[in-house]
Structure 1
Amino acid sequence: MLRLARAPDLALAAIWLDVLREAGIQAWLQREFLAGGAGELPPDQCLPEIWLADQRQERAAREILEALQRVPQRRWLCACGETVEGGFESCWQCGRPMPL
């Protein structure tokens, strides 16, 4: 087994794990219940980790995680004149949906 990555929190670790498994990569989540131990244990030792069963899948798994961390942020101009940035799919000024 090979440790692939430490996630900053359990929610992100779960997303990474799901995406890896959907890609056919055998991966497991470790340290998922240690967050409550932070303070008694060093905080960096309590972060959730993604582990691979097969080291031959490391390169593909790393490419997937890197792609997840480089998701482009969109910027679009709403019909009301408001510039909307980030991952928003509706305008925060008027509520109109993002144009296709």
Structure 2
Amino acid sequence: MIHIAERLTPDRVRPGDRYYKDTVTFEVVEVNKTADIRGMSIYIIAYRIIDHRGNRTFTSPVAHLFVTSGEDVKKHIMKVIDDYIKLRDQLLSAIR
């Protein structure tokens, strides 16, 4: 795991990497590099959210982030986690 305080470029992200905030884990499942129509590198990062809250664990389906080579992936990861935490109660109540 790379410390989340560091700048995190997409080429440093690997399957199996995990990033944590509170009870939430952002787990990288797969990383693929491709290019857009202009030839710029784009990384497709497949991930899942794992929430170990209380006595139940929720594991999300796999989702994807699309990140260009110069971006800081950490900002995307933290936004995904923060958005999940904001919507957690509504999301989990829909599947119970």
Per the normalisation by structure 1, the TM-score is 0.27
Q: Give 1 or 2: higher helix fraction.
A: 1
Larger Cα-atom Rg: 1
Per the normalisation by structure 2, the TM-score is 0.28
